Structure 1
Amino acid sequence: MRWNMIVLASCLLAAGCAGNSMAERQDADIQSSLQYDTVPCDQLLAQRNGLAQQYNLSTKAKPTFSNPAMGFGPFTPDMRSKAKRDTDKVTGEIDAMNRSIDRRQCGQPDKQKKLALPS
């Protein structure tokens, strides 16, 4: 039994050190929204909606993270399928786009100026 635990621990260490850990790859899916601040609002909205439609996701998609047992996250190998990894990456892109859209208030009607009669 003790030998099995040593072998299991070494396998987990090797899996995590190879850059293929679940935690490392999920962290890489999160993107900065600053890269989208230079994209015009109408183009950014169309790009986000196109990605969401292509991958059959909501336009309000947010990244999710797995919950590995007892601190083994950096050592747990990424066992997700390629389709799931691609979907998670696109979810991170959509979330970054949404943060840029919200910050710049894209798609919201301009506040109307109060009309006043001259006095």
Structure 2
Amino acid sequence: MRWNMLVLASCLAATGCVGNSMSERQDDNIESSLQYDTVPCDQLLAQRNGLAQQYNLPTTAKPTFSNPAMGFGPFTPDVRSKAQRDTDKATGEIDAMNRSIDRRNCGKPDKQKKFSLPG
């Protein structure tokens, strides 16, 4: 009976971490870049630069992930401050914007076509 109670208590403790774990919340910071493909290039560049400036991040920011010990990621509670969570979310948005910018070649001047005589 004691063994069953111990297992039940540990299961309840583990389920209490679901939704608030470090690895789960860090995964939420990754965004799809497809949502930015409909935004005009100049507006997207301005939006990315403004977000980077607001959070004092470089325009080349990429999300980072913690390295929990030996598979305890889903059970490690997220103890980051709200400011750090907001900065990490902004990093994910900047990265998604950068992927859209790179894919569409925004901000790069068009290659000049050289005119030459045939022959």
**Do both proteins adopt the same fold according to a TM-score greater than 0.5, normalized to the shorter chain?**
yes
Alpha-carbon offset, residue 16 of structure 1: 2.5
Equivalent runs, 1:10-89 vs 2, <5 Å: 13-17=14-18, 19-89=19-89
Structure 2 unaligned blocks of 5 or more: 1-5
Question: Alpha carbon RMSD of aligned pairs, Å?
Answer: 2.0
Q: Could you tell me the percent identity over the aligned residues?
A: 77
Note closer, same or farther for the CA distance 1:79–1:15 as it changes in structure 2 (3 Å cut): farther
Letter aligned with residue 17 of structure 2:
G
TM-score (normalizing by structure 2): 0.87
Structure 1 unaligned blocks of 5 or more: none
TM-score (normalizing by structure 1): 0.87
Distance 1:34 1:55 in 2: 23
Alpha-carbon offset, residue 114 of structure 1: 1.7
Q: Does 1:111 align with 2:114?
A: no
**Moved segments of 4+, more than 4 Å:** 8-12
Question: What is the DSSP-based 3-state SS (H/G/I as helix, E as strand, rest coil) of the residue aligned with 2:78?
Answer: coil
Verify the 8 A CA contact 1:16 1:75 in the aligned structure 2.
yes
